[in-house]
C-alpha cells in the first residue's frame, strides 16, 4: 500500500528562539514544494515551541513536535512538562523514547509506555523511537532489543489510538556518528517491525503504520534509503539544522513518492 513519506527534523538542544523561527520558516518553504505529498515536522527545544508555532502559523503544513514530555497531567514534578501543556502550546506531536533519553536520562521501556499512552490520549501524534546500541548489534541482539522496546513501549496504548503512533527505527551507533545503516540493514529491521505490529495490532494497521529511519540521514544517503519498501521517511538530527540539507532530504522523499 502507498504510505506518505514523513520527514521530521529533531533539532535536539540547538538554536535559540530567533534562529528556530527562521529555520521553521525556511523549512516550511522547502516543504511547500511537495504540495503536501511529503509530511514534514520540526521539533525545537521546549522554550522555542511557542515561537515556532507563531512563526509557522496555526494552519501550517509543517507540523510541530516536542522532543519529550511527562506522563502525569500536573502536580509536584519539578522541571517536567505535561503532554496537555505541550498541546496547549501548539504541538501536534511528540518524540518519545529517543535513544538520548534512554541512554543519558535512563528512561526505561515501562516509563516510555506510560508516556506513549498519555501523549496519545491527549491527542498528540507519537513518534516512538527504538534502536540497538553497537554492543547489542555485535552481540546479535538487535531484534531482541527492538522487539522489547516496541512490545513494552506500545503495551499501554489504547486500541483506538493506534493510528496516532509512528515508529522511528534509529540504531544508536548511527546517530550523530556519520555511520548510516545500509539501506538493506535498515529495511531488514523495518520489515520485522511491520511484521511485529501485524501481530501486536492487525495486519492492516501494520500495513499503514509509518516507520521512519533515523541515524545520520543526509542528502547523499536519503534517496537510497527511501527506495526501500518499508522505509517511510526519516527522523533527521544534524542535517535538519541546515535548510539546504533538509530540503534535499524532503526532495528525495518527494521524488520517490512520484
36 or 176: whose CB is closer to ligand PGA? Answer: 176
Question: Is residue 221 a contact residue for ligand PGA (CB under 6 A)?
Answer: no
Can 170 be counted among the known catalytic residues? yes
Question: Is residue 176 a contact residue for ligand PGA (CB under 6 A)?
Answer: yes
Q: Could you tell me the smallest distance in angstroms from the CB atom of residue 167 to ligand PGA?
A: 13
Question: Is residue 214 a contact residue for ligand PGA (CB under 6 A)?
Answer: yes
Q: By the 8 A CB rule, do 173 and 185 touch? A: no
83 or 213: whose CB is closer to ligand PGA? Answer: 213
Can 98 be counted among the known catalytic residues? yes
Given the residues 100, 136, 170, 190, the one annotated as active site = 170
Residue whose C-beta lies closest to ligand PGA = 237
**Which range, of 45-53, 62-70, 186-194, 214-222, touches ligand PGA by CB under 6 A?**
214-222
Task: List all residues 6 or more positions away from 51 whose beta carbon is below 8 Å from its beta carbon.
Answer: 17, 18, 20, 21, 44
**Which range, of 64-72, 159-167, 195-203, 212-220, touches ligand PGA by CB under 6 A?**
212-220
Determine the distance from the C-alpha atom of residue 207 to the mean position of all C-alpha atoms in its chain, rounded to a whole number.
18
153 or 215: whose CB is closer to ligand PGA? Answer: 215
Position among 55, 236, 249, 256 found at the interface with ligand PGA (CB under 6 A): 236
Question: Is residue 211 a contact residue for ligand PGA (CB under 6 A)?
Answer: no
Question: Is residue 230 a contact residue for ligand PGA (CB under 6 A)?
Answer: no
Question: Is residue 40 a contact residue for ligand PGA (CB under 6 A)?
Answer: no
What the block records as the C-alpha cell of 63 is 507540523
Given the residues 98, 100, 107, 136, the one annotated as active site = 98
Binding residues vs ligand PGA (CB under 6 A): 10, 170, 175-176, 214-217, 235-239
Q: Which residues are catalytic?
A: 98, 170
Amino acid at each position: 500500500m502507498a504510505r506518505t513519506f514523513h520527514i521530521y527534523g529533531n533539532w535536539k538542544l540547538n538554536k535559540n528562539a530567533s534562529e528556530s523561527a527562521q529555520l521553521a520558516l525556511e523549512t516550511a518553504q522547502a516543504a511547500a514544494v511537495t504540495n503536501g505529498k511529503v509530511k514534514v515536522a520540526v521539533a525545537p527545544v521546549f522554550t522555542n515551541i511557542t515561537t515556532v508555532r507563531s512563526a509557522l502559523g496555526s494552519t501550517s503544513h509543517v507540523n510541530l513536535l516536542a522532543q519529550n514530555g511527562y506522563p502525569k497531567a500536573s502536580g509536584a514534578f519539578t522541571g517536567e512538562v505535561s503532554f496537555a501543556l505541550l498541546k496547549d502550546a501548539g504541538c501536534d506531536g511528540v518524540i518519545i523514547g529517543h535513544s538520548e533519553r534512554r541512554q543519558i536520562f535512563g528512561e526505561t521501556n515501562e516509563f516510555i509506555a506510560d508516556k506513549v499512552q498519555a501523549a496519545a490520549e491527549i491527542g498528540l501524534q507519537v513518534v516512538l523511537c527504538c534502536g540497538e546500541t553497537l554492543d547489542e548489534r555485535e552481540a546479535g541482539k538487535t531484534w531482541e532489543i527492538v522487539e522489547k522496546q516496541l512490545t513494552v513501549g506500545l503495551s499501554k496504548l489504547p486500541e483506538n489510538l493506534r493510528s496516532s503512533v509512528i515508529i522511528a527505527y534509529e540504531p544508536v551507533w548511527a546517530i550523530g556518528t556519520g555511520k548510516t545503516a545500509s539501506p538493506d540493514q535498515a529495511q531488514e529491521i523495518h520489515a520485522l517491525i511491520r511484521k511485529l505490529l501485524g501481530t501486536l495490532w492487525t495486519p492492516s494497521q501494520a500495513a499503514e503504520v509509518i516507520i521512519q529511519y533515523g541515524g545520520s540521514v543526509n542528502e547523499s544517503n536519503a534517496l537510497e534509503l527511501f527506495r526501500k519498501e518499508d522505509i517511510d521517511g526519516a527522523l533527521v538530527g544534524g542535517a535538519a539544522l541546515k535548510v539546504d540539507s533538509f530540503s534535499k532530504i524532503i526532495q528525495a522523499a518527494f521524488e520517490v513518492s512520484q
